[in-house]
């Protein structure tokens, strides 16, 4: 760990200013200098992880390759630095206290009184040190919440101690604040930043860099004012202005000199770390050239909080970049689908995504949406629960299995086409039966999914309990639904598709977690290809609402 550097991001004034995106952007810039980078998120909430949290509380749960249920910021981290993170890349107050209490119960503390300092702070520091492996040059640490929150105090104390532990030149503190514009006075105000830095200093941390979020550039005069009153060099006051696309942020922050000042603080030789932004500039060129409009409906339960489907949206955008198309997202509340269909208010869609979710609410609406897409050749991608509603819809309307359903939603269904694989399994806790993390699938040669991936063996991340019931597989396939991907032993259905449809694919996995801005996921890429064809009239929009296959 002696050669590893650490960059700590804290926030002030307000939440949701973009610490995660700023940390991700810095990570990308450091990678562009040839440095090996990883990122960790420290969350002050007391939940052990976000896995059992309502999406309305915290947005999507991002799943790592090793099955960690983590904060959605890890999705930004992976998309920007293009590295697969893991469960140790996210730590919460709950998980930290759980570990401390487990050590106390085992007698690890030899009967001593267990206290926030040093035991909790030592555990926080240990979570950070775990990331400092031999193949990492810089560990970026984002602390959730804002300075002044009561929950954040142990984290700030651990960060204060960390510079003493590893050496001054191995640590850089970056503080993100808000510089609001007050319309009545026509001025940008630095007072919130001053108060935030004062609060941070009261915890023993003097920031090395201050990133000022605003909707317009910070003037040189205001930078000098922040520099003087917050005791940082003027070149370390960074103006982070709202950008048209999040993928422009690394270039915006580089122009402001963020990576230069961080490298100098960490005593990294800038001459030996020549910057190559060409790869990321190609990404921003793709974003700028994505102008052809396509409308994609996302049929979900949590559409009032788009962060619940953050990775899905970004994956659609990545696929749009690839095709020079701008994916316009139309949020469709699943419960309202029957009424929308009755009013013919979905026929304008160029494509549809049915994402995952838990609970019965809105399921019949998702089934109706899948039926509409199947019958009227609307390109459709089902993710996790999306695959399951596709199977239920096919069982009812193609295989003639009246009353078919998932046992998750109807324990008395005569045809449980979606079921727990082990009927004798007793659910001990909410995470006890989840299939989490990366699983391998064998694809059917010549299938649409095999053509999309360009291979017959793939690995995708999962987060679900219920599976396609193998007892119904023969009847579903006889009716025309192709099970185009299974687990290597052939027992679990991983992909389904309709062969004579522009694009009708369901996956039990969450492929959205693996998409990158310069490397869209194959399923989203091919969905958008069909959507562009439909938008350009190469697939018909005119439909007969009474038609059926």
- The pLDDT assigned to 359 comes to 83
The 10 Å CB-count burial string (b at 16+, else e) for 56-77 is eebbbbbbbbebbbbbbbbbbb
Q: How many helices (H) and strands (E) does the chain have?
A: 18, 23
pLDDT in tens, 467-491: 999 999 999 999 999 999 999 999 9
Dig out the tokens for 277 from the structure: 């932004």
Active site residue 512: yes
Active-site residue identified among 254, 415, 510, 521: 510
Active-site residue identified among 142, 230, 512, 521: 512
Active site residue 405: no
Dig out the tokens for 156 from the structure: 């700030």
Active-site residue identified among 384, 483, 497, 501: 384
CB 391 within 8 A of CB 476: yes
Helical H segments across 12-152, by residue range:
19-32, 55-58, 73-81, 93-106, 121-129
Residue closest to 68 by CA, chosen among 48, 87, 43? 87
CB 61 within 8 A of CB 463: yes
The Cα–Cα gap between 145 and 431 comes to 26
Active site residue 412: no
Give the predicted TM-score (pTM) of the model.
0.92
**What's the order of all strands across the beta sheet hosting 404-406?**
404-406, 415-419, 467-468
Per-residue pLDDT 10s for the chain (549 aa) are 468 999 999 998 888 888 999 999 999 999 999 999 999 999 999 999 888 888 878 789 999 999 999 999 999 999 999 999 999 999 999 999 999 999 999 999 998 999 999 999 999 999 999 999 999 999 999 999 999 899 999 999 999 999 999 999 999 999 999 999 888 888 899 999 999 999 999 999 999 999 999 988 999 999 999 999 999 999 999 999 988 899 999 999 999 999 999 999 999 987 667 889 999 999 999 999 999 999 999 999 999 888 999 999 999 999 999 999 999 999 999 999 999 999 999 999 999 999 998 888 889 999 999 999 999 999 999 999 999 999 999 999 999 999 999 999 999 999 999 998 753 333 333 444 689 999 999 999 999 999 999 999 999 999 999 999 999 999 999 999 999 999 999 999 999 999 999 999 999 999 999 999 999 999 999 999 999 999 988 766 544 433 443
Dig out the tokens for 232 from the structure: 């940082």
**What's the order of all strands across the beta sheet hosting 482-486?**
325-333, 292-300, 351-354, 380-383, 504-507, 493-497, 482-486, 435-443, 457-464
pLDDT in tens, 98-140: 999 999 999 999 989 999 999 999 999 999 999 999 999 999 9
């Amino acid at each position: 760990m002696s050669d590893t550097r650490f960059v700590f991001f804290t926030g002030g004034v307000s939440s949701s200013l973009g610490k995660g995106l700023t940390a991700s952007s810095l990570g990308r810039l450091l990678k562009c200098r040839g440095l090996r980078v990883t990122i960790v998120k420290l969350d002050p909430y007391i939940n052990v992880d976000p896995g059992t949290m309502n999406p309305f509380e915290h947005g999507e749960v991002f799943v790592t390759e090793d099955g960690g249920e983590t904060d959605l910021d890890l999705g930004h981290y992976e998309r920007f630095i293009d590295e697969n993170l893991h469960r140790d890349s996210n730590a919460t107050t709950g998980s930290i206290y759980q570990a401390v209490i487990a050590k106390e119960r085992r007698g690890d503390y030899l009967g001593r009184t267990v206290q926030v300092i040093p035991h909790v702070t030592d555990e926080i520091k240990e979570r950070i040190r775990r990331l400092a492996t031999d193949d990492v040059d810089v560990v970026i640490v984002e602390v959730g919440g804002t300075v002044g929150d009561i929950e954040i105090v142990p984290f700030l104390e651990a960060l204060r101690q960390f510079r003493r532990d590893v050496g001054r030149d191995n640590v850089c503190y970056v503080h993100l604040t808000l510089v609001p514009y007050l319309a009545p006075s026509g001025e940008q105000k630095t007072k919130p930043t001053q108060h935030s830095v004062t609060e941070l200093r009261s915890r023993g941390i003097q920031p090395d860099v201050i990133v000022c979020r605003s909707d317009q550039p910070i003037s040189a005069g205001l930078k000098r004012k922040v520099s003087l009153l917050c005791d940082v060099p003027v070149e370390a006051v960074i103006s982070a202005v709202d950008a048209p696309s999040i993928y422009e942020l690394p270039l915006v922050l580089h122009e402001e000199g963020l990576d230069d000042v961080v490298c100098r603080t960490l005593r990294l030789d800038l001459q030996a770390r020549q910057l190559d932004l060409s790869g990321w500039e190609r990404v921003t060129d793709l974003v700028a050239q994505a102008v052809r409009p396509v409308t994609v409906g996302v049929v979900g339960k949590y559409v009032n909080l788009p962060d619940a489907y953050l990775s899905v949206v970004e994956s659609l955008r990545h696929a749009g970049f690839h095709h020079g198309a701008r994916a316009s997202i139309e949020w469709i509340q699943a419960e309202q689908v029957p009424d929308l269909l009755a009013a013919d208010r979905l026929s304008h869609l160029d494509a549809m995504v049915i994402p995952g979710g838990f609970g019965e609410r809105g399921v019949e609406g998702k089934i109706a949406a899948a039926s509409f897409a199947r019958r009227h050749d609307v390109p459709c991608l089902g993710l996790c629960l999306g695959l399951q509603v596709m199977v239920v819809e096919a069982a009812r309307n193609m295989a003639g299995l009246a009353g078919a359903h998932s046992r998750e939603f109807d324990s008395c269904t005569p045809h449980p086409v979606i079921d727990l694989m082990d009927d004798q399994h007793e659910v001990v806790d909410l995470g006890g039966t989840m299939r989490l993390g990366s699983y391998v699938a064998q694809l059917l040669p010549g299938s649409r999914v095999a053509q999309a991936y360009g291979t017959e063996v793939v690995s995708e991340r999962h987060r679900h309990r219920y599976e396609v019931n193998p007892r119904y597989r023969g009847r579903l396939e006889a009716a025309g639904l192709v099970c185009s991907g299974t687990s290597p032993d052939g027992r679990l259905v991983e992909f389904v598709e309709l062969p004579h449809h522009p694009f009708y694919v369901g996956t039990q996995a969450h492929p959205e977690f693996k998409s990158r801005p310069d490397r869209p996921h194959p399923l989203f890429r091919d969905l958008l290809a069909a959507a562009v064809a439909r938008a350009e009239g190469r697939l018909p929009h005119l439909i007969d609402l009474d038609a059926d296959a």
